[in-house]
């Protein structure tokens, strides 16, 4: 007989239950590591699912995550020879992960690693990945023993501050029908944190034909860009000045 004591983690409107008492073959515990984990915009981060159990045979787990800020890109099974992880399923913000041990397992092992990629969150903030619920069985197929599986959550610190805008945009004629744009490399974001490999989105406003509308015309990781554009055909002797177009460069941490 085991006494179960639970701690409650709140994830939005969902309660995540964590089991802390000593284990026997009627209880197991899921621990997510590392805690906390950092998620940088458009970069991958990983969370390990560690199981502590006695005589574990089958496990069925559900995890909840913040699908608006990052997405699951892969699940890597643990390396234990007795472990067999079935194909996972994802529905909105919930991950289903089932598997079994043959022979039964006692001890601590990593059953899988969840690989996420951070999207483009608005500003820096923290969220959670946690065990929603779980069940399992010890014993044998002919005489299964139910196993209560509890677990914890891990904090994901998301870094979503946008880069500073590029400075010193210079536009020069190139050949007869093109222009060459150059600008200074962006190295910091709005929090003065380093930006390593930004992308640049080049936008174009055709003032003569479509004023007020900026159209993306390309993206690059270089600090220069060529655009085929005949500025204006003047009549002979015409010395007037025409504001024909505007270029705008936006920096982003993600590949567009």
Is the pLDDT confidence value at 206 over 60? yes
Residue 1 domain flag: no
Q: What is the mean pLDDT of residues 191-207?
A: 91
Cβ contacts of residue 24 below 8 Å, gap of 6+?
2, 54
Q: Are the C-beta atoms of residues 170 and 210 closer than 8 Å to each other?
A: no
Q: Are the C-beta atoms of residues 4 and 150 closer than 8 Å to each other?
A: yes
Residue 194 domain flag: yes
Residue 165 domain flag: no
- pLDDT per residue as tens digits for the range 1-55: 333 333 334 444 444 444 444 445 688 999 999 999 998 888 899 999 999 999 9
- Same domain (yes/no): 93, 113: yes
- Same domain (yes/no): 69, 110: yes
Q: Which of 159, 181, 205 is the last residue of a domain?
A: 159
The separation between CA 54 and the C-alpha centre of its own chain, rounded to angstroms, equals 34
Q: List, as one string, the DSSP characters of 83-138.
A: EEEPPPEEETTEEEEEEEEEEEEEEEEEEEEEEEEE---SSSEEEEEEEEEEEEEE
Q: Which tokens go with 132?
A: 């929603």
What percentage of residues in the chain have a pLDDT greater than 70?
85
What's the pTM?
A: 0.71
- Same domain (yes/no): 13, 131: yes
At residue 6, the pLDDT reads 38
Residue 70 domain flag: yes
- Same domain (yes/no): 149, 185: no
CATH number at residue 176: 2.60.40.10
- Same domain (yes/no): 17, 140: yes
CATH number at residue 136: 2.60.40.680
- Same domain (yes/no): 184, 102: no
Question: In which domain, by residue range, is 23 found?
Answer: 6-159
At residue 40, the pLDDT reads 84
- pLDDT per residue as tens digits for the range 78-108: 999 999 999 999 999 999 999 999 999 999 9
């Amino acid at each position: 007989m085991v006494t179960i004591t639970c701690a409650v983690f709140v994830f939005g409107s969902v309660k995540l239950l964590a089991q802390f008492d000593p284990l026997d073959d009627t209880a197991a515990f899921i621990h997510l590591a590392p805690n906390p984990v950092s998620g940088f915009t458009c970069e991958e981060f990983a969370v390990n699912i560690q199981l502590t159990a006695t005589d574990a045979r089958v496990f069925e787990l559900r995890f909840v995550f913040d699908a608006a800020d990052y997405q699951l890109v892969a699940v890597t099974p643990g390396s234990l020879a007795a472990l067999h992880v079935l194909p996972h399923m994802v529905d909105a913000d919930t991950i289903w992960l089932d598997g079994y041990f043959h022979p039964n397992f006692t001890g601590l092992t990593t059953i899988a690693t969840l690989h996420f990629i951070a999207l483009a969150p608005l500003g820096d903030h923290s969220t959670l990945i946690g065990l929603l619920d779980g069940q399992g069985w010890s014993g044998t197929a002919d005489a299964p023993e139910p196993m209560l599986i509890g677990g914890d959550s891990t904090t994901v610190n998301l870094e979503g501050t946008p880069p500073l805008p590029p400075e010193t945009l210079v536009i020069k004629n190139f050949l007869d029908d093109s222009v060459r744009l150059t600008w200074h490399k962006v190295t910091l974001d709005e929090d003065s944190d380093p930006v390593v490999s930004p992308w640049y989105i080049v936008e174009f406003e055709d003032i003569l034909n479509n004023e007020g509308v900026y159209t993306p015309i390309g993206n690059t990781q270089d600090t220069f860009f060529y655009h085929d554009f005949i500025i204006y055909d003047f009549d002979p002797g015409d010395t007037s000045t025409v504001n024909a177009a505007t270029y705008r460069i936006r920096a982003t941490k993600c590949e567009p």
